[in-house]
Amino acid sequence: MAVESSESNKNSIKPDLVVVGSVAIDTIETPYDKRESILGGSASFSCAGASFFTQVGMVGVVGSDFPESYTDLYRRFNIDLEGLQTVEGETFRWSGVYRKNMDERDTLSTDLNVFADFSPELPTAYRSSPYLFLGNIGPDLQMHVLDQMDDTRFVVLDTMDLWIENAREDLRKVIGRVDLLTLNESEARNLTGEHSLPAAAAKLLELGPRYVLIKKGEHGSMLYSENGVFILPAYPLEVVNDPTGAGDAFAGGFMGSLTEMGRTDDEAMRIAIMHGSVVASFAVEAFSLERLENISRDDIENRVNRFREMVRIP
C-alpha cells in the first residue's frame, strides 16, 4: 500500500502542538438541514480550533479520494500537514442524524476505509513538540504516538464509548501516561461505574492524570484536579446548526491556548477552558469548519470578553 506524507519534508516545521485524530468525510442530518460529504473528523475540528493560537501539526490519514479543496482549507488554517498520510483507497466516512433536541444523535454508518489500517507515524520534526493532543482514535494508536514523542510537556487524551467498551484495558494504560483526560459525562460514568460526576472524577484521577476535564455539552465543563474543581457553563447560543465536533473544537481551542501561554498551572487551565468553550461555540454555529473558517482571533476574544462578564460574580 502506497503511503506518502501530504507535504514534502523539505521545509519541515516543528509545530508547538501535535494533534492526532480522525479525518473524515461526514454526512450529517439535523432536524433542519442535511449535508452530504462534508469535511469532519476529530483532527479537523481540533487542528482548526488550535490554529487561532499556535502552530499546529496534524497526524492522521486520508484516502486517495480526499478532495484537494479540503487540504487547501487546512492550509488556510495554517495547519502543518507533514504528519498527514495519504494512502491508496477511500477516506474514513461517518454519518449521523441528530434527534429533535440536537443533544442526542444516532450513528447511521461508520466506514473505516483507510482508517482501519492506520498506523500514525510522526515526522521527526514533530517528536520534540512540547504539547500533544491525542484525539479520539483507538487507545493502542494513542499509545503508539506517545511512544514516538521525545519529551512532551503536556499531553491531553480524548476518548469515546467505543473504546471504553471494546478496549478498556488499553485505554486505562494510556490514561495512566497523560497529564489531562477529557471525556463527556456519559463516558465518565461508563468508564468508572459512578453516577456522580465528582465520584467519577476522583476515580479517574486515581488512574494517573493530574487533571480530568468532564464535558457536559450545552451545560459546560468541569475540571477536576487534586486542588478541587473549576466549572464553566457553555457559551449560550440562540442558534446551533450542527453540534458535530464541538468536543474536538473545544479541545483544540483549549490546547492551542495552553500552548500559546506556555504554562500548565491551574490559572492557565481556566483561561484555556474559556478559550476552548468559545471556539466550540463558534464551531457549532455552522456545519463542518464553515464558521471557524470565517472568524478571526479578535472575534474569539470579543466573545471571551462577553463570556467573562456573564460569569463574573461581584
Give yes or no for residue 40 binding ligand AMP (CB under 6 A): yes
Q: Residue 40 Cβ, how far from ligand AMP at the closest point, in Å?
A: 3
Q: Report the nearest approach of ligand AMP to the CB of residue 166 (Å).
A: 10
Number of H helices, E strands in the chain: 10, 14
Cβ of residue 195: shortest distance to ligand AMP, in angstroms? 22
* Contact stretch for ligand AMP (CB under 6 A) within 19-27, 49-57, 121-129, 205-213: 19-27
Residue number, 215 or 303, with CB nearest to ligand AMP: 215
Q: Which stretch binds ligand AMP (CB under 6 A): 47-55, 117-125, 143-151, 243-251?
A: 243-251
Stretch that binds ligand AMP, among 3-11, 18-26, 56-64, 149-157 (CB under 6 A): 18-26
List 54, 136, 182, 259, residue binding ligand AMP (CB under 6 A): 136
Query: Looking at beta carbons, which residue is closest to ligand AMP?
Result: 40
Give the list of residues 6+ apart from residue 196 with CB closer than 8 angstroms, or none. Answer: none
The DSSP-derived string for 268-292 is HHHHHHHHHHHHHHHHTTSSTTTTG
> Of 42, 54, 159, 281, which lies in the binding site for ligand AMP, with binding defined by CB under 6 A?
42
The reply to whether 24 sits near ligand AMP by the rule CB under 6 A is yes
DSSP annotation of 80 reads B
| CB-CB contact of 218 with 225 (8 Å) | no
Going from the C-alpha of 135 to that of each of 142, 191, 250, 285, the distances in angstroms are 8, 17, 11, 22
Block residue for cell numbers 519534508: 9
Number of residues forming the site for ligand AMP (CB under 6 A): 16
Would you say 110 or 152 has its CB closer to ligand AMP? 110
94 is a contact residue toward ligand AMP (CB under 6 A):
yes
Question: CA 253, CA 220: separation in Å to the nearest integer?
Answer: 15
* Per-position b or e across 166-177, b if 16+ CB within 10 A of its CB: ebeebbebbbeb
182 binds ligand AMP (CB under 6 A): no
User: Are β-strands 56-63 and 211-215 bridged in parallel, bridged antiparallel, or unpaired?
Assistant: unpaired
Listed ranges 39-47, 202-210, 278-286, 303-311: which one lies at the site for ligand AMP (CB under 6 A): 39-47
Block residue for cell numbers 447560543:
237
Rounded to 5 degrees, φ, ψ at 22 are -85, 150
Which residue of 247, 252, 253, 276 would you call a contact of ligand AMP, by CB under 6 A?
A: 247
95 binds ligand AMP (CB under 6 A): no
Of the candidates 15, 57, 245, 253, which one interacts with ligand AMP according to CB under 6 A?
A: 245
Q: Please, which of residues 137-176 interact with ligand AMP by CB under 6 A?
A: 137, 162
Strands 211-215 and 180-184, how do they pair? Answer: parallel
228 strand-pairing partners:
225
Angle (nearest 5°) at CA 217 between 212 and 268? 45
What residue ranges bind ligand AMP (CB under 6 A)?
22, 24, 26, 40-42, 94, 110, 136-137, 162, 244-248
